[in-house]
Structure formats: C-alpha cells, structure tokens
Amino acid sequence: MAVRQRAVATLPTLMRALRKESPSIPQRLPSLRRGFSLYDQVNLIDNVPEDQLRFQGYTDSGFTVNGVEYEGSLLCVGNLLLSWTPKKMSDITIDSLSIFQAVRPIPEILILGTGRYIQPVDPEIRKFIRSTGMKLEAIDSRNASSTYNILNEEGRIVAAALLPYGVSS
C-alpha cells in the first residue's frame, strides 16, 4: 500500500516534468482535431511484416495486395497468393476449392468474398469446406478482404477466396 501511495504522490511531479520537456525536433500534430490520441501513437495496421499479405484496395475487376494490383479472382492461403479461376458465384465448385484438401496446416476459416453483394453458398460447397475442418464465412468481397487482413494480422491461420468486387451475380 505504501508503494502505491508513493507512486501516486509522484504522479503530479512526473506530469509537470513531461509538460516542460519539449521535443528537440518540432513535429506536426498527428491530427488537427486533437493534440493527442492513442490511435495516432499506436498503429498496428501499418506495422505489418513484409512477408504478410495485406489487402490495400479493390476495384471492380481486382485487388491491390502489398502494393501490387491483381486482376481477377484471388485465392489466399496464409501468406500465399494465387490467381483463382472462378469469375462469378456460379463458377465456384468443389473442384475450384479442392486445394484445401492438400493445404497444411488447415486454415481455421475460409472467407469467401462473393463480389459486390452477399450471395448464398451451395450447401454442397458448405459441406465440403466443413469436411476439410474449416469454417466458412461468405460475405461481400470488400468486407472479406478486410476480415482477412484482421485475422491474418492476429496471426491466425486463415484463407480467402475472393471474387472481384464488380461481380454481382
């Protein structure tokens, strides 16, 4: 208890010392709306290891991954990026997802980007994905790429099969 009281007692002195100290090199404020924000100081999203895939943008016909623009559908497993043949939802078959029978370690989840809109997934495809030991999340491609980024940054073993955002049927 005495240690805590001493620590609390030194807090005002520490705050005054920090206010008096100015940085040697003047820096721009990180935001015009406020002088300090924890989010301006700690940015986990920009500090992604170079060997980790990160979706940075999308167009109607493709995606930007780690600064490189890719046209068409993509398949991501961990940090491996592959061109994927399906062009629309009806092209997605068990055969087009058969790579997941061979992938080790098995991703815990497959994020299926269905294009511009969320679309229903064939029950046979759901059954196949479940048989591989993965869970399936089918969402629009914009949110699918963001979800992939978050789960990948958390260090989780995740896969994504993404149709371009412009696909609507």
On whether the pTM is more than 0.85, the answer is no
d(CA 58, CA 43): 22
Q: Are 79 and 53 in contact (CB under 8 A)?
A: yes
Task: For residue 29, count other CB atoms closer than 10 A to its CB.
Answer: 10
Q: Is residue 98 included in any domain, yes or no?
A: yes
Same domain, 33 and 65: no
Same domain, 76 and 137: yes
Secondary-structure breakdown of the chain: helix, strand, coil percentages, each rounded to the nearest 5: 35, 20, 45
Alpha helices (H) in the chain, listed in sequence order: 2-20, 38-41, 123-131, 141-153
Same domain, 69 and 35: no
Residue 98 is part of a domain; what is its CATH number? 3.40.1230.10
**pLDDT value for 30:** 46
**pLDDT value for 19:** 67
Residue 78's pLDDT band, with cuts at 50, 70 and 90, is confident
Q: Measured over all CA atoms, what is the biggest interatomic distance in the chain, rounded to whole angstroms?
A: 70
Q: Per the structure block, which two tokens stand in for 24?
A: 């040697």
Q: Is residue 109 included in any domain, yes or no?
A: yes
Q: Is residue 168 included in any domain, yes or no?
A: no
| Radius of gyration for the chain, computed over Cα atoms and rounded to the nearest angstrom | 23
Would the pLDDT of 112 be above 90? yes
Domain count, the chain: 2
Mean pLDDT across 78-88: 91
pLDDT in tens, 10-20: 767 766 666 66
